[in-house]
Structures are given as C-alpha cells and as structure tokens.
Amino acid sequence: MRKLLRMHGRPRVSVTDKLGSDAAANMKMGLNLEHHQHKGLNNRAENSHQSPRVLEEVMRRFKSARNRSERHVPNPSQLGNG
C-alpha cells in the first residue's frame, strides 16, 4: 500500500467491500479519506483481474435477449386457427 501511495499519490476515496478493518488500516496509515463500503461497488475492478478463460466461460453462458424471445414465441404455423 505504501508503494502505491508513493507511485500514484493520495487517493480521494477508498472503495472496499463491507470489511470494517479496511477503514481501520487506512486510519493507521494516516489516510483521512472517504471510505465507501458496498458489496458490489468493487466488482468491476475485481472482475477485470480474472483470467481470460474464466471470462470466456461467463460469455458462453450469456444468452442475448433476442435468442431468448425467439425460443419462447411459438411458430405461427403451429397455432390452431380455431
């Protein structure tokens, strides 16, 4: 953490999950900054550190809205006209 502070300067905000000891660590280092605690705020940064294989697996499970709607709409020729 100290090396990051030397390289990039003092941050304005610290974004972490709901772990309370993160705020205590910032205070111990003498950083008086805003501490945003939320379990979902840091997900974008954490997901960018995943390996490409994991990201490809997630994309394979993704189904577009168009494909989803085509799967559930019945074919008009299969509908009876009365």
pLDDT for position 2: 80
Assign 3-class secondary structure to the chain.
Answer: CHHHHHHHCCCCEEEECCCCHHHHHHHHCCCCCEEEECCCCCHHHHHCCCCHHHHHHHHHHCCCHHHHHHHHCCCHHHCCCC
pLDDT < 70 stretches in the chain: 41-42, 44-50, 55, 62-82
pLDDT for position 67: 58
